């Protein structure tokens, strides 16, 4: 999906919500467990109930990889079930030496090779240029580079500082020598509030993928206040707070209610920038 198409989707749906399909077989409603592929059945019902309220689904591959062959099958079925106007994200946090990264890129972008074609994959920046650029060789596909993550451990490396500034700032500056705001986004945690001001100094136009609202307690209002740009520039993710809103047979309807609450708040924020 191109940047222009993504922005148009945000305008059409009055939403910049990315629903996280972090589907844990131990957490899904028990009545699904007798089905042939309970994880896919859960995802299918969540997607059917929420697809008009979000512009993206973020599939965290850990929840699928952990289940071996059955998990990969659920993953492939899920990504192929997504509507064509949805921006699909493989949250896989990959990155390795060049030839290995090229294989990871094939895994997530090349349908002929892997039966999956996501719009974007999350990539860790710390192995440098040759670990990231193989993902940039596909037209209209995106790298979402980890910049400033939502977790406690972000302090261990990302907030270390030298004369050039914080390490996360160096990630933003250096990666812009390899890619641009049409093929790269950055992960910035919603728990970082005012740090978005710093992020926007270095990446004023890029889209940011923002996990951490909902279950992690980040503030959507703060993310918008400090992080929104003229094109919106945000994809805000919520996973557990939406998909596990109910553990009963009404789980999909309950997920819709939670997604509606977030989308209503997003609609107001988008109104402020004329969308």
Ligand X SMILES: O=c1ccn([C@@H]2O[C@H](COP(=O)(O)O)[C@@H](O)[C@H]2O)c(=O)[nH]1
Which residues bind to ligand X, rule: CB under 6 A?
20, 22, 60, 91, 149-151, 187, 189, 211-212, 214-216, 237-241
For residue 52, the minimal CB distance to ligand X (Å) is: 20
For residue 246, the minimal CB distance to ligand X (Å) is: 15
- In the bound state with ligand X, the residue whose beta carbon lies nearer, of 20 and 38, is 20
C-alpha distances in angstroms, 167 versus 147, 171, 214, 223?
9, 6, 27, 21
For residue 1, the minimal CB distance to ligand X (Å) is: 20
Residues facing residue 123 across a β-bridge: 94, 145
Of 11, 44, 77, 93, which is the active-site residue? 93
Provide DSSP, 124-170: --TT-HHHHGGGGGSTT-EEEEEEE-SSTTHHHHTT-EETTEEHHHH
- In the bound state with ligand X, the residue whose beta carbon lies nearer, of 79 and 275, is 79
For residue 154, the minimal CB distance to ligand X (Å) is: 7
Residue bearing tokens 């349908």: 111
Per the annotation, the verdict on 51 as an active-site residue is no
Residues in the chain: 275
- In the bound state with ligand X, the residue whose beta carbon lies nearer, of 77 and 240, is 240
Q: Of 89, 198, 90, nearest to 147 (Cα)?
A: 198
Q: From the CB of residue 36, how many other CB atoms can be counted at a distance below 10 Å?
A: 6
Q: Of 8, 7, 73, nearest to 38 (Cα)?
A: 73
- In the bound state with ligand X, the residue whose beta carbon lies nearer, of 231 and 258, is 258
- In the bound state with ligand X, the residue whose beta carbon lies nearer, of 101 and 122, is 122
Q: Report the phi/psi class of residue 115: left, alpha or beta, with left for phi > 0 and alpha for psi in -120 to 50.
A: left
Instruction: Determine whether 143 is exposed, middle or buried from the number of CB atoms within 10 Å of its CB (0-12, 13-18, 19+).
Output: buried
For residue 215, the minimal CB distance to ligand X (Å) is: 4
Residues marked as catalytic: 93
């Amino acid at each position: 999906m191109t940047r222009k198409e993504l922005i148009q989707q945000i305008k059409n749906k009055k939403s910049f919500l990315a629903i996280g399909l972090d589907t844990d077989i131990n957490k899904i409603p028990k009545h699904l467990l007798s089905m042939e592929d309970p994880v896919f059945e859960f995802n299918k019902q969540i997607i059917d109930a929420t697809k008009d309220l979000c512009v993206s689904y973020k599939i965290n591959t850990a929840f699928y990889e952990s289940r071996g062959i059955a998990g990969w099958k659920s993953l492939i079925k899920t990504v192929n079930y997504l509507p064509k106007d949805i921006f699909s994200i493989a949250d896989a946090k990959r990155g390795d030496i060049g030839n290995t990264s090229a294989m990871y890129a094939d895994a997530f972008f090349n349908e002929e090779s892997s039966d999956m074609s996501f719009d974007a994959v999350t990539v860790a920046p710390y192995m440098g240029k040759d670990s990231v650029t193989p993902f940039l060789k596909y037209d209209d596909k995106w790298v979402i580079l980890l910049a400033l993550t939502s977790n406690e451990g972000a302090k261990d490396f990302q907030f270390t500082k030298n004369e050039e500034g914080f390490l996360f700032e160096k990630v933003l500056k250096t990666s812009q020598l390899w890619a641009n705001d049409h093929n790269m986004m950055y992960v910035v945690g919603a728990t970082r509030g005012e740090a978005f001001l710093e992020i926007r100094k270095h990446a004023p136009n890029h889209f940011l993928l923002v996990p951490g609202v909902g279950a992690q307690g980040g503030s959507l209002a703060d993310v918008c206040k400090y992080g929104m740009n003229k094109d919106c520039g945000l994809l805000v993710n919520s996973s557990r707070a939406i998909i596990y809103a109910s553990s009963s047979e009404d789980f999909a309807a309950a997920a819709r209610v939670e997604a509606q609450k977030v989308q209503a708040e997003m609609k107001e924020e988008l109104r402020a920038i004329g969308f």
